[in-house]
Chain A
Amino acid sequence: MSDIDYSSFPNAAGHFGPYGGRFVSETLVHALDELESIYFSLKDDPSFQAEFDKDMAHYVGRPSPLYLAERWTRELGGAQIYLKREDLNHTGAHKVNNTIGQALLAKFTGKTRVIAETGAGQHGVATATVAARLGLKCRVYMGLDDIKRQTLNVYRMKLLGAEVFPVTSGSRTLKDAMNEAMRDWATNVDDTFYIIGTAAGPHPYPQLVRDFQSIIGREARRQCLAQAGKLPDALIACVGGGSNAIGLFHPFLTDESVKMYGVEAGGLGIETGKHAAPLSKGIPGVLHGNRTYLMEDENGQIIETHSVSAGLDYPGVGPEHSWLKDIGRVNYVAINDDEALAAFRKLTLTEGIMPALESSHAVAYAEKLAPTMSKDQVIIVNLSGRGDKDIHTVAALDGITV
C-alpha cells in the first residue's frame, strides 16, 4: 500500500483503477474537454490559487476550527474526538469550498450562467451564493420530493436570486436532478458552467472537486499536529457522493498509520434493502459519467435509495471511494437512520453543536469507534454541515410542526 502514489490518480483518462472515466454522450465531450483544459491550466496558476485562498479566508471564514469535543470524549471514555468544523463555513457546510473553486473556473472561462444539482439543498445554496456574488445567472435542479422536504433551503436559494427547477422524472431525487443538469449543460454549453456538487460525475469533476475540498484535510492535518501533537489515528466522514470525505481523507492517504472510515447511509438497515450504501451493498456499474459502485437491480436499472438525510440519498458514490475501498485503504461502514438521529440529539445536548443529518452519520460511527480505542488516540470527525436545515425533519419525527 505504501508504494501507491495517490497524487498520480486519476490517470489522464480520469481513471482510478477500474473506476471513474468519462462515460458520457458525445454531446458532452467537448464541454468536458474544455473544462479539463481550463482546470489543468489554472490549478497551479498562482493568481488563480491566490484568489481561491483569499476567498477561502475572507468569504468562507477558513481555516475552520478543529475542535476537541471534551465532554463527548469523556462520556465515550475512549479516543479523543476532534470535530472538523465545516459547519461553521459561510452557508453552513463544506459544499462552499467547491462551489467557490468552480465558480472561479466559470469566471475565468467567461461563462455567464451556472447550473447545479442539489439533494439536501446545501450545494444548491452554496452555488446560488457564489452566483449572487459573481453576478452569474443560476438555475438549480432539485427533485420534487427533495423540494418538499427541504423548504428552508429552497427559499434560501430563491432569496439568493437562483431559479429552483423542480425535477419530476425518475425517482425525483438527487440522481434525477443530476440527469436534468447534464441535459441542460448539453443544450446550453456555450454560456453555461455546470457546478457539480460532489466528487462524482465524468472526468475531470471527481478530481477537481477533490482538489478543492482537500483544503479540509490539509488544514486538519496541520491543526492536529499543532493541537494534539501527532497525526490522528482515525478519520471519520459521511459518504453520499463523498466530497467531504475525500476532502478530509486525501491529504492523509500516504500517512499509513491513519485509519479511515467512510460512513454510508444505512437507511432502515442494510438488510432491508432500503438504504443508500452502494459501497457496503452495491456492485460496480456506470452512471452519471463514471464507473463506480452503484445500487442497481439484476437488469442494471438504478434503484431508489432511502436515507433520512437527503444529502446521502444517492445510488452512486465518487469513483475514488470505489477504488479506495477495493485497495483497502479506507473502510466503508453504514449507519442507520435511527442511529444518525440519536447521534444528532446526542451531539446537540453534549456539545451544543447541532450537526446536519448527513454529518450525524459520521458522529454516530464515532460513538461506536471511540470506546474501542485508547485515551491517547485521536479521531477526527468531519462535521461537514450544520443541522439547522434538518430541524423540520427532526421535529416531524417528534410530532411537532415548526
Chain B
Amino acid sequence: MSRIQQRVAEAKAAGKKLLVAYIVNGDPQPEVTLPTMHEMVAKGVDVIELGVPFSDPMAEGPVIQKGHERALVHHTSLKGTLELVKQFRQTNDKTPIVLMGYANPVERFGYQAFATAAADVGVDGLLTVDLPPEEVVILKDALDAVGLDNIFLLAPTTTVARAQKIAEHASGFLYYVSLKGVTGAGHLDVEDVKSKLAAFGQLTDLPVCVGFGIKDPTTAKAVAQLADGVVVGSVLVEKMGSLEGQPAAAIATAVGEIIGGMRAAIDSL
C-alpha cells in the first residue's frame, strides 16, 4: 500500500477529511521549506503538495506566481526539490509528498530518470499541471513502473465523459479545481462544487480533494462537508511571501498556525 493510500485509509477509519497543503519549494528562501513541512505535519496536514518552481506557471494566480518567482531567485530546481524530499524522509516516513509543477523541468530531467529518482528519495505522487491525459503517456508509464501516483485535475468545465477518462488514468486522489480560473482566485460557490462532486464522485473510488479558492477555515469546513479532502495553497504562499527575510522558524510557525485553524475547522464537522 502506498503512503497516499495508507493515509487515505487512516483518515477514512478515523472519520476525518484529508487536509492537503501546498507550498513552493524554496519560497521565500530555501532554508524555510523543510522546517515548514515538518511544522505543517505537526499541525495536522495529511498530504504535502510541494510546488516545483517554474519560470512560466501558466495556471497560477498572482500569489503563487510570486512564490515561484521568489524561489527561482534562489535557483530552486527539480533536482534540489528531490534533495529536499530526501532530507524530509530522514525524519518522516509517513506523510505523503506530491510534487506539483509543470512539464518542462521534468522533460528536461528526463521522464524515466525523474521517476526513478523521485521514487528513490520517497516522493509519492506527481501532479503535472500541463500534462493532461492526452499528453501524459510517457510520464505515466515511467511513474507506473516505479509505483508513483499520478494525480490529475478536474475542472468545473470538465464533462462527465472526460472525467471518466481522467479517473482511469489517475491514482492516489483526484484534485477538483473548485472554480474557473487560476489558483487563489475569487470565492468559490459551494453549491456549484456540490453538484459537480456528486457527478464526479460516482465515477471513481479515488478520493476527491477540492482546491483553488479555499482561503479560510469557514470555506474549508464548507468544502470538507462535500469532498474527501481540501487543498489549501495560496493562503499559505501569501503568508510566506509576506514574511520574506524572516527566520525560517518564524515562517514555519506562522504557516503552522494557519494549518492548525484549517484542521480544527474541518475536524469540527
Contacts and interface: CB of A to CB of B under 8 A. Distances in A.
B181 A30 contact: no
A271 interface: no
Interface stretch (A21-29, A80-88, A248-256, A349-357): A21-29
Contacts of A288: 56, 58
B108 A26 contact: no
A302 B55 contact: yes
* Chain B binding surface SS class: loop
Nearest to B177: A27
A158 interface: no
Interface string A249-293: 000000000000000000000000000000000001111110100
B130 A24 contact: yes
A187 B56 contact: no
B61 to A, nearest CB: 7
A236 to B, nearest CB: 30
Nearest to B186: A187
Contact of A29 (B102, B108, B155, B181): B155
A132 interface: no
Nearest to B101: A300
Contacts, number: 121
Contact of B55 (A22, A25, A27, A170): A170
A175 B56 CA distance: 8
Contacts of B22: none
Q: What interface size band does chain A fall in?
A: 35 or more
Nearest to A21: B135
Interface stretch (B40-48, B157-165, B247-255): B157-165
Given A169-B65, A179-B58, A286-B103, A27 B157 contact: yes
A287 B104 contact: yes
A26 B104 CA distance: 17
B108 A186 contact: no
Nearest to B185: A187
B158 A29 contact: yes
B58 A298 contact: no
A130 interface: no
A301 interface: yes
Most A-side CB within 10 Å, residue of B57, B108, B153: B108
A-B residue pairs, 6 tightest by C-beta: A300-B108, A187-B181, A30-B157, A300-B105, A25-B59, A26-B153
Interface of A: 13, 21-27, 29-31, 169-170, 175-176, 179, 182-183, 186-190, 284-289, 291, 294, 296, 298-303
